[in-house]
Amino acid sequence: MIYIQHATVLTPHRQIDDGAVLIDGPQILAVGTADEISRPAGADEIDASGLILVPGFIDLQINGAFGHDFTADPASIWAVAAQLPRYGVTSFLPTIVTSPLETVAAAQEAVSRGSNYGSGGATPLGVHIEGPFLNPEKKGAHNPAYLRLPDPELVREWSSARGVRLVTLAPELPGALDLVAVLAKQGVVVSAGHSTATCREAEAGFDAGIRYGTHLFNAMPPLHHREPGLAGALLTDGRPVSGLITDGIHTHPSMIRLAWRALDGGSITLVTDAMAALGMAPGRHLLGDLDVVVDGQSARLLDGTLAGSIVSLDAALRNLIAYTGCSLAQALPAVTTTPAKLLGLEATLGRVAPRYLANLVLLTPELQVQAAIAKGQIVYEQSPG
């Protein structure tokens, strides 16, 4: 057992001052004040005085980190998982960009096979397949050689039971709406992205079952007052949730404020879209099979096209608060309850509550990650000094 006491606990919908959390195995056993919950004999104790205890963060779009690219080497998913808790991430969707279909199968196999790095670290919740059913006009950093038109035969093995949680496609492509229905029936969340869809085409996609928008504003037409496009539909429809990269480069802070106000914060998930250079020095790195130049602030193809980010999820959370003026309590759902609900995992992930998985993060008052717990195990602790 682990007994955490004297923390400010954000559940995230309730704040408990001088809070205590009791962990038994991989689950949370009890949550309350330090006066209400006493330390059982033999439990390991963590004094969290001055710290904030929050649910572990969930990243729905990350392409790699620490020198590893998931598309180039799907087996590296677990090496990255072992290190992600330093950023507060305890669950994530490794993202495979447009590539040969064999790469997707290899990623499914890697997730199902499990880790060679022990049980500690963040948990891959499945795979996010970004492509190959994307609009060539909005391909971004995806290799056009592998783009395909929607075809149900190509996704027969893409199901939640086989480790596929999320698929990004362009809803305006021929056959896309039929493919949405197929994927939804197979338990996959379908997202609109890398798309030139009009507002009407986007809404038809939502009618067909699309429930997410991949990196809002990026790889889609800009907002226009006579043709709002996919971005306008995501901001106003009410059914989909939108992923948002808050690195200040992919999306201007004023547009982040616009999205936050339009969606009232409740239909946003923060994503990093991070690539292999996250946690590494500037230089040349890979995104899939394309060369990317990283300068310390951004990651770009040789032609200047943005190619994922190098922002960590804890930094993205701090940026959201700085750009919008919202509180930590208001921002937390974007990295906890909202992504958990989107994936249908809201009964076990995203909250500090009894019977939930003990995925927890201890933050300093400056919102720096001090420690992380995944499935009841301490998987990261900030070194002194």
Instruction: Give the active site residues.
Output: 273
What Cα–Cα distance (Å) separates residue 264 from each residue in 13, 121, 261, 328? 15, 32, 5, 14
Q: Are 227 and 199 in contact (CB under 8 A)?
A: yes
